[in-house]
Amino acid sequence: MNPTKKTWVIKLGGAVLNNLGALNALFAALATKQDAHYVVVHGGGALVDRWLQDAGFATAKHQGLRISPAEQMPYIVGALAGCANKQLLGCAVKNQLKPVGLSLYEAGVLAKQKLKALGCVGECLEATDSIVPVLLEQGRLPLVSSISFDEQGQWYNVNADEAAAAIAKALEAELIFMTDVEAVLDQNGQALHQLNAQHIAQLIEDGVISGGMEVKVKTSLLAAQHLRRGVYISSWQKPENLIALLDGEHVGTQISM
């Protein structure tokens, strides 16, 4: 990897897959910023919901994490590592980028079962033996789905925010979460531009931050503590936000130690 180039890990929220215009705009933005390395990590919750519903399965979540029984995993893996990943790949190709579709395993992130009650939901282990630095050196754009494996080859559905944080940690990269909202919001629906550990704990205790956003904020805080730099949460609905963040501007919510 070129040490003079900064590396950014960009996590795309699953809902962006329902908006091809915004998706193309995000990749077009990356195509204009060739002075850095990029890794895109993605989920695809809305797509998974649709596939499971079509197959006749009920879906449930626990503390913002999708319960993933073994019998649902072929659909979850197909939606995330297959359809969603290749949809992103197509948009990247359209914008003259050179994408490579990966699972977390190829990106060096192994998994283990997080909680028995969650089924095949995985927890990230230390990233090792990643192909990502080689791909970045070759000018490729890794697109990483949130599916991983353990050493016995068992597949796991990993929370994409946690996956992005694990890859950023391994690469010592900057980390941006592109989500459905402009920023983390307070109890009055107003944007919070800066959050630290103490403020986050209070907002969670007060019930202002909960569910999927609680997972995202906690993951962002852990990443910020390890990387010793701010981690950003911003909206994919405004591609100009991504350009601004890459240019060093303060957009959305910055999570710091």
The sign one gets for the Cα dihedral 99, 100, 103, 107 is negative
Note the pLDDT of residue 102. 98
Residue 179 has a pLDDT of: 86
Report the distance separating Cα 19 and Cα 255, nearest Å.
27
Task: Please report the pLDDT score of residue 199 as a whole number.
Answer: 92
Topology of domain 6-255 in CATH is Carbamate kinase (3.40.1160)
Report the C-alpha gap between 25 and 75 in whole angstroms. Answer: 28
Q: Order of strands across the sheet with 141-145?
A: 99-102, 141-145, 36-42, 6-12, 174-179, 231-235, 253-255, 194-195
Containing H/E element for 65? strand 65-66
How far apart CA 233 and CA 193 sit, in angstroms, is: 9
Residues with catalytic function: 11, 14, 45, 161, 216
pLDDT score of 200: 94
Based on its alpha-carbon atoms, the radius of gyration of the chain, rounded to whole angstroms, reads 17
Low-confidence residues of the chain: pLDDT under 70? 1-3, 14
Distance, in Å, from the CA atom of 59 to the CA atom of 243, rounded to the nearest integer, reads: 36
Both structure tokens of 82: 């297959």
